[in-house]
Chains A and B, each alone.
Chain A
Amino acid sequence: MDTKKNALAPLSALKYLFKKPHTVRYPKEDLDVFEKEGVSPRYRGFHTNDHSKCIGCGNCASVCPASAITMVEADDVKPANKFAKTYRPVIDYGRCCFCGQCVDVCPTGSLQMSREYIHSFHPDVSIPPEEEPEKVKEDFIWRPDQTYANNPGYVRTPDDLLGKTIEFERTDPREEPADKRKFSFAKFVHTYSKEEAKKEATRCLGCGACVEACPNQLHIPEYIRSIAEEDPEDSLKWIYKRNPLPLVCGEVCTHQCEEACVVGIQGEPLAIRWLKAYSASNVENYLEVVEEKMEKPNGKKLAAIGAGPASLSFGYYTKLLGYDVTIYEAEDKPGGAMMWGIPKYRLPKEDLMKDINTILSLGIKLKTNTKIGKDMPFDKLLKDYDAVFIGTGNSKPMTLRIPGEELPGVMQGLTFMHLVNEEKAPDLKGKRLIVIGGGNVAMDVARSSIRLGAEVTVIYRRRIADMPADPEEIKEAREEGVEFVEAGVPLKIYGEKSVEALEYAIASLVPDPNGGRPRPVVDENSPHKKVKVDYVVAAIGQHPNLDFLPEDIQEKIGFDGRRVPVDDFGRTSVEGLFFGGDLSNKRQDIISAIGAGLRAAKGVDMYLASRK
């Protein structure tokens, strides 16, 4: 470069006198730089929020480095889905630094930024200075809506998910392929490895949407966080605060939480269930880790009937409070539905016993082979104990109420599963088996029968999409070779000594005007089908069996044959009598039963404390 002094050189700038200036005319004139008129197409200006998509999870508020976002309950919006909240972000533009991190973490993509950026405010001179913050606040804090939506700037597009901060892809645990697993009762979903678990756990945003969806409100974000910190023991500590059956829930929970998971809105939800299984299976001795403080024995005695999840959870939490608990079980092994209803390929019995033994090792007495009403009168229980908890669940199966039902070869779902779990199931090799029903029990029956070598068809009276069973279960059952018949209504079972054929009609589905599941209607036009079959298993639901209760008590508690009405703490109108589990729950699954047991434990504690 030539830096020789030259007095004339600067004068060369004079040529610009005659050039067109590049000055931008009065504000917001087109810069002529970008494809779109105005500022950059990626400009980070004021926010827009699509209220019909926003779920109020509050991730934007937690990520904001300037603490500019507050979630405020809005009464003029509708929740976007059944787990969504009606909180909406309100943004303080006296804090916002327009970094766009809120847009990056928005799991629904509803929060975006526009290309609008001009806003100013003049406080009137008549406002006293001490009231000025109020006025400024009114002007600079607002709830973003669709006002600027026609001028989008920094937005997250569905095809550009990688560029943003949320990881939408799930890490699936290793699984046996369908053609291999259908011959074995071994558990086919492997537990996460350390790396897989960490990778999956680090996807969690920590918003807690899952907590509200969980029937038992586990501390889900907390225990996932501990897994991300590679500390399964701390994680288990969090789980144990509300769930004493971590491994069972880790393997067979109905995982409502995953349906609510906000990551699942645009991607795949977190595998919360598998993460729980990871932390439970990586701890050898739960009690050493959990370090729950046990209160001193207070000398009061409690009885629980039925050693299912509700009673076990009730027993665990009351034992911690210092009560002396005895659980009565009619079968020879504890576990109830977990033991007899759930097939081994989903929940290995040793995993179940690991959980149960931990609970029993606290000093809870278990009396097996003791059927209340038969081996021991119920009145004696009421007299001997300070309070009685009943968690016997649904043990009376519903019947098909069609001709031919009494034939040998027609079984009820639960009975069938009991036989399978006892390894006393009939030889099904090469036999044809029809399962009637669409719940999880139906799936268990179908998939167990496949493993026993049968050809299985599931007949359900509505569409597959309407089945109450987990979609995963249905998918896996199909992979394993289970046939499905939609809209099939069984009419008659033929056979002389045993079942030979089943006749069913294909119903027409009448849509429900309220948006619920469609109603199957069978009329004379419906096509009828008859298939050859060796076994028919009806898995169409169960009812509670409270026959062991004296009739006056049954009447007093208001038992209607389906459900026992109870309050939040499992209390009934009979003093000292508590109910929980499938007997009283709206949702009939393990985690709800555990929740009911926990709440009843609190209820008992409150009841006995007040009686003192």
Chain B
Amino acid sequence: MSEWKDLTNFFRGRSFWMLHYCTGCGAMELPPTMTSRWDMERFGVIPMATPRQADILLVTGYLSLKSLKRLIYTYEQMHAPKWVLGFGSCTINGGVYWDSYNVIERLDKYLPVDLYIAGCMPRPEAILDSFKKLRELVEKGEAKGYEKYVKNYEWYKANQDRVLKRTKPVLQKPEEVTRSA
């Protein structure tokens, strides 16, 4: 049975279909990575338009609250096994937008991240390196963020709800806020 698993992991690691969902500015280095100069297809990674067919979710940088919501939908639509790559500083600890009111601070509070890549933004070489690293992890059966998500679903859900389903103002300011519907 374990040989069978090894074999599936071997093939999985060689045919990553990544969701071409460009969330932040890290998306700018993906076209060079995808096309002829760096050509990630050599490593079996190709862009895929729909979440249901994808294996890797690239979070290419910062996530605004609005796109975090959509990202979570997208992640939950994907079939296991699935992996999340966090690109650049913004996903690790907020990056240059650390004090922004609309950008989340740490991605790992809301989704399980399998690999963080340093850089702002990471160069194509760093991206390719991370794909290779992910392949090694998958072959060894170590990258199991999706299992972690299922196991700790309540924890992730609570964090997601905290930022996405607010019912009262975050800063309790006495002033009346006038807004029309």
Contacts from A to B (Cβ < 8 Å): 21-24, 26-28, 39, 46, 65-68, 92-98, 117-125, 128-130, 132-133, 136-137, 139-140
- Besides A95-B93, A125-B142, 10 more A-B contacts (Cβ < 8 Å) are A21-B39, A22-B36, A28-B125, A92-B93, A96-B95, A97-B96, A98-B120, A129-B112, A133-B108, A137-B93
- What are the interface flags for B26-44 relative to A under an 8 Å C-beta threshold, 1 for contact and 0 otherwise? 0000000000111100100
Are B119 and A117 within 8 A (Cβ)?
Answer: yes
CB distance from B90 to the nearest CB of A (A): 8
When distances are taken between beta carbons in the complex, the residues of chain A under 8 Å from B95 are 66, 94-97
Question: What are 11 A-B interface contacts by the 8 Å CB criterion?
Answer: A94-B89, A95-B89, A95-B94, A95-B95, A117-B122, A117-B123, A118-B125, A118-B129, A120-B116, A130-B155, A133-B108
* Those 7 A-B pairs whose CB atoms lie nearest each other, nearest first: A94-B93, A94-B92, A119-B118, A97-B96, A27-B125, A125-B144, A66-B96
Question: Which B residues from 108 to 155 make CB contacts under 8 A with A?
Answer: 108-109, 112-120, 122-126, 128-130, 132-133, 137, 142-145, 147-148, 152, 155
Find B120's partner among A39, A96, A128 (CB 8 Å cutoff): A96
When distances are taken between beta carbons in the complex, the residues of chain B under 8 Å from A67 are 98-99
Q: Does B69 contact A (CB under 8 A)?
A: no
CB distance from A52 to the nearest CB of B (A): 26
Are B98 and A129 within 8 A (Cβ)?
Answer: no
CB distance from A609 to the nearest CB of B (A): 41
Q: Does B12 contact A (CB under 8 A)?
A: no
Q: A28-B125, A95-B89 are in contact. Are A120 and B117 (CB under 8 A)?
A: yes
Are B89 and A121 within 8 A (Cβ)?
Answer: no
Are A21 and B96 within 8 A (Cβ)?
Answer: no
Q: A94-B95, A123-B108 are in contact. Are A26 and B119 (CB under 8 A)?
A: no
Q: Given the complex of chains A and B, what is the CA–CA distance between A596 and B16 in angstroms? A: 73
Most buried by B among A21, A96, A120, A140: A120
Q: Given the complex of chains A and B, what is the CA–CA distance between A93 and B108 in angstroms? A: 15
Are A23 and B89 within 8 A (Cβ)?
Answer: no
When distances are taken between beta carbons in the complex, the residues of chain A under 8 Å from B98 are 66-67, 95
CB distance from A468 to the nearest CB of B (A): 50
When distances are taken between beta carbons in the complex, the residues of chain B under 8 Å from A24 are 37-38, 124-125
Q: Does B156 contact A (CB under 8 A)?
A: yes
CB distance from A103 to the nearest CB of B (A): 15
Name A141's closest neighbour in chain B (CB-CB): B93
Are B108 and A132 within 8 A (Cβ)?
Answer: yes
Most buried by A among B42, B125, B130, B155: B125
Are A120 and B96 within 8 A (Cβ)?
Answer: no
Name A122's closest neighbour in chain B (CB-CB): B115
Are A98 and B116 within 8 A (Cβ)?
Answer: no
Q: A65-B96, A66-B96, A122-B142 are in contact. Are A97 and B120 (CB under 8 A)?
A: yes
Name B123's closest neighbour in chain A (CB-CB): A117
CB distance from A220 to the nearest CB of B (A): 29
Q: Given the complex of chains A and B, what is the CA–CA distance between A95 and B128 in angstroms? A: 22
Q: Given the complex of chains A and B, what is the CA–CA distance between A119 and B118 in angstroms? A: 5
Q: Given the complex of chains A and B, what is the CA–CA distance between A23 and B32 in angstroms? A: 10
Find B155's partner among A21, A39, A124, A129 (CB 8 Å cutoff): A129
CB distance from A256 to the nearest CB of B (A): 37
Are B119 and A23 within 8 A (Cβ)?
Answer: no
CB distance from A226 to the nearest CB of B (A): 27
Name A139's closest neighbour in chain B (CB-CB): B116
Find B116's partner among A28, A92, A124, A136 (CB 8 Å cutoff): A136
When distances are taken between beta carbons in the complex, the residues of chain A under 8 Å from B133 are 120, 122
Q: A66-B96, A95-B96 are in contact. Are A133 and B126 (CB under 8 A)?
A: no
Most buried by B among A94, A98, A123, A139: A94
